[in-house]
Structures are given as structure tokens and as C-alpha cells.
């Protein structure tokens, strides 16, 4: 095998053989294939695609590059969830303890934010003392004691994906559906969960901007999970408007706790319950009632135990940004548009996100919304509050919001898109 032949095959619209895929993933993981060579192959895959068999083999090769976890010893069925990322997407935080309160074990391996999409680990690290890095034994201990754990994937899990993910981010190949699907599913299958629910975001604030692309990605991932014996279902959900009323790390933790306390924004509650029902159904717990677990406090109890088990203080005050700036409505009328991408970029520029993996984030930075599409607003009324420790960032955040807010004449009719657009199984 040689890497030039593999690159040329895909460059010329050919189909990679199983042997070519196995060799190139293994050689890249060991450092025999250089980053610039894998970059060329990734671009060829972006431009020319892969068929289902190629994607399945590529995924299997990435799984084989590292260890696989096994949760067979747990007394509960396992269920996991993965979101393709969005703005204000704090759903994992209330969802994991909620599903655990209903009888499933939730081994939630999560990541950090990059660009305009937030990261679950960054959010939770705003809680004093909380640890994202757990050993496999520690992870199993939390799952046995609490039923849910949210942590970073260990270095031994699909190491080929870790290298390739970082490379795609700097070479303009993040959007390649075969590479997105295999990246997500290699980690989830290696993780060893028995069932998986995928939240595939669609809209301006998502990687998939249109329904057709989102449907293709979801179908590809559901097929990969099924082929590897993991019961998998996907929901296509809207991401043209931010989820909830916050985008930022500590801000989103605070809102998640409100949901667990029985309150919180309606859209966050609706999606949390929809995903919980899918996870419980996939795990064989069809009679469980997640709505009751929110009402009776058992979900909150599991949240507090989960945070404490990972070194966090669930009663500690969350960080607050030192500076604030209020953005007001420019006219009186109906708020008909609040672009998720614009809000996400604003939060990123305020310090809630990072441009490179090694960049720090501000725990208190972000955007707090005071109105959502469909509401009547008055000129001069606060629309959002910007939070940051570094006030020189305000101008750049406001620039990102230019064109992201649409206010139409009073009385304009408005009908919000549904949260859940489609289900693929």
C-alpha cells in the first residue's frame, strides 16, 4: 500500500477497497501518513463522497484504532445521545440525569466547543470543582452509583478520529458527510452503548443548513449504528433560532438547572422530553415517564449526585461576567427572526467559545436573550444582554449581530417552526 495511490483513487472518483481504508487509517494513526497527505484524502472525500460500504469500513477502521468500552456489567440498560451541535444547545445537561432518573444508564462522552457552537464540557467546567477527565474505572463507578456521567472521551477511544478531527477543522473538510458520520459513530460505537439517539440540527446555527443534507447525515449515521449492532434513531431538530434564552457556558448551566427544577424555556423542556422518550424507548424502558421525573424532583436529585460525583459543588455560585452591554430593539413590532448563527458568533466573540482547541474560554461570557421570535417588542426594549470579562469585545459581538434580528410591523402574523422536524429510524 502507498498513500498516493489511495489519494488518487478517491480523487478520480474511485471506490476505496477495504484494504486501502484499513491501511490508511492505521498508517495515519501511527504517523506513517503525513497530515498533508491525509488532508488531500479528506478533501477528495469531501468532493467525491463515499458509498455506505466505504463509510462503514472507514468507521470500523477508526474504531479498531483504539480500545472499546463494555457496559455489560451494569445493572441498567445503556442509552446515549449525541447532538451535531448548535447555539444554546444545553440539552445534554438536563437530559442525562433525567434519563438516569427513569432507569437507564447514560454514559455521555462529550466534547468542547469550537467556533460558534458551544461545548458541553466547557459549560460544566464553569461549576467549581467539576472534572471532565475521568478514568474508565471512575466513569463506571459514577454510572453504577448515579446512573449518568458526562465526561471527556479517553485517549484510547478511537485515536484515529482525534487526529483526523483536528485536521479537518483546519483544512475546510468539516462538512464532509462521510467524515462527520464516521467521526461521531466511531466514538459512540467504541463507547459501547446499547442504544443511541442522534439530535441532528438543521438551520443557520447548525453545520447542516438544509433539511436534505441533515436527512442524509442522519440516515448515514443510523445505518452505521444499525450495522454495528447499536439500536439507533435520529431526530432532525431546528437550529435557525437559538435554543432557550442563553448561549454561553455558566449562563446555560443556570438555565439547565431551571429546567431540572421544573421551569425553564418551553423549547428546551420540549426537546429534552422528546429526546428522553426516544432514549428510554430505545433502552427498552417504554413505561418510564420523564415528565414525572422532572416534576417530582428525581431528575434534579440525579443532577446533584452526578455533579458531586465528578468533584463539583452543585450549590456553588456560578461565575458571572464582569461586564454587560444591553442590545435594544431598533423598532416596534413583531420579532420574526433571531438568527442562531449570529447569536452564536456573538457569544464566541464575547469569549464563550474558542477559535483553536487550545484557546481558553470565559465561564461567564455569552448572550442572554430577553425575547424570542413571535413576541411583540417595543423600540428601545432590551432584546439581549451581552456578557464578557473583556469589554473591548462588545464591538465585535455587536458587529456579528448585524442583520441577525428581524422586526416586522405590529400585527404581523408569525408561526414558529416545530422543534422536531423529522424522525429517522
**Catalytic residue annotation:** 82, 161, 168, 183, 187
**Residue 177 per-residue DSSP state:** H
Instruction: Give every strand in the sheet of 195-202, ordered side by side.
Output: 80-83, 195-202, 231-238, 420-424
**Nearest Cα to Cα of residue 164 among 177, 185, 153, 180:** 180
Spatial neighbors of 356 by CB under 8 A, at least 6 apart, are none
Spatial neighbors of 85 by CB under 8 A, at least 6 apart, are 117, 118, 201, 206, 207
Q: What are phi and psi of 63, to 5 degrees?
A: -60, -45
Is residue 299 classed as helix, strand or coil in its secondary structure? helix
**Angle subtended by helix axes 92-101 and 298-309, to nearest 10:** 110
- Cβ-count burial of 323 within 10 angstroms (0-12 exposed, 13-18 middle, 19+ buried)? middle
CA separation for the pair 50, 151 (Å, rounded): 31
Amino acid at each position: 500500500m502507498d498513500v498516493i495511490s489511495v489519494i488518487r483513487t478517491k480523487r478520480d472518483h474511485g471506490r476505496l477497497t477495504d484494504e486501502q481504508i484499513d491501511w490508511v487509517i492505521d498508517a495515519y494513526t501511527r504517523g506513517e501518513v503525513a497530515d498533508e497527505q491525509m488532508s488531500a484524502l479528506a478533501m477528495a472525500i469531501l468532493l467525491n463522497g463515499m458509498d455506505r460500504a466505504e463509510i462503514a469500513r472507514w468507521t470500523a477502521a477508526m474504531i479498531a484504532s483504539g480500545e472499546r468500552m463494555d457496559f455489560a456489567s451494569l445493572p441498567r440498560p445503556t442509552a446515549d445521545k449525541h447532538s451535531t451541535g448548535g447555539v444554546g444547545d444545553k440539552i445534554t445537561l438536563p437530559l442525562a440525569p433525567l434519563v438516569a432518573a427513569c432507569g437507564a444508564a447514560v454514559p455521555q462522552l462529550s466534547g468542547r466547543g469550537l467556533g460558534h457552537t458551544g461545548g458541553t464540557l466547557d459549560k460544566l467546567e464553569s461549576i467549581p470543582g467539576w472534572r471532565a477527565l475521568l478514568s474508565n474505572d471512575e466513569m463506571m463507578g459514577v454510572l453504577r452509583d448515579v446512573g449518568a456521567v458526562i465526561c471527556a472521551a479517553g485517549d484510547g477511544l478511537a485515536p484515529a478520529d482525534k487526529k483526523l478531527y483536528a485536521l479537518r477543522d483546519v483544512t475546510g473538510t468539516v462538512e464532509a458527510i462521510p467524515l462527520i458520520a464516521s467521526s461521531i459513530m466511531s466514538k459512540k460505537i467504541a463507547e459501547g452503548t446499547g442504544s443511541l439517539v442522534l439530535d441532528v440540527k438543521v438551520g443557520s446555527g447548525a453545520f447542516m443548513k438544509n433539511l436534505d443534507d441533515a436527512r442524509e447525515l442522519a440516515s448515514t449515521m443510523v445505518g452505521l449504528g444499525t450495522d454495528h449492532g447499536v439500536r439507533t434513531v435520529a431526530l432532525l431538530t431546528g437550529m435557525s433560532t437559538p435554543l432557550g434564552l442563553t448561549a454561553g457556558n455558566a449562563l446555560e448551566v443556570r438555565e439547565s438547572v431551571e429546567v431540572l427544577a421544573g421551569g425553564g424555556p418551553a423549547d428546551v423542556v420540549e426537546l429534552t422530553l422528546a429526546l428522553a422518550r426516544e432514549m428510554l424507548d430505545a433502552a427498552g424502558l417504554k413505561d418510564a415517564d420523564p415528565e414525572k421525573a422532572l416534576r417530582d424532583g428525581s431528575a434534579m436529585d440525579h443532577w446533584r449526585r452526578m455533579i458531586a460525583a465528578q468533584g463539583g459543588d452543585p450549590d456553588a455560585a456560578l461565575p458571572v461576567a464582569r461586564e454587560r452591554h444591553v442590545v435594544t430593539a431598533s423598532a416596534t413590532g413583531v420579532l420574526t427572526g433571531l438568527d442562531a448563527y449570529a447569536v452564536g458568533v456573538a457569544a464566541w466573540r464575547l469569549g464563550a467559545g474558542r477559535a483553536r482547541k487550545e484557546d481558553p474560554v470565559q465561564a461567564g461570557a455569552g448572550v442572554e436573550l430577553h425575547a424570542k421570535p413571535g413576541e411583540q417588542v417595543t423600540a428601545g426594549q432590551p432584546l439581549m444582554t451581552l456578557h464578557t470579562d473583556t469589554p473591548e469585545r462588545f464591538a465585535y459581538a455587536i458587529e456579528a449581530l448585524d442583520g441577525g434580528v428581524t422586526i416586522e410591523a405590529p400585527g404581523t402574523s408569525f408561526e414558529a417552526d416545530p422543534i422536531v422536524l423529522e424522525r429517522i429510524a
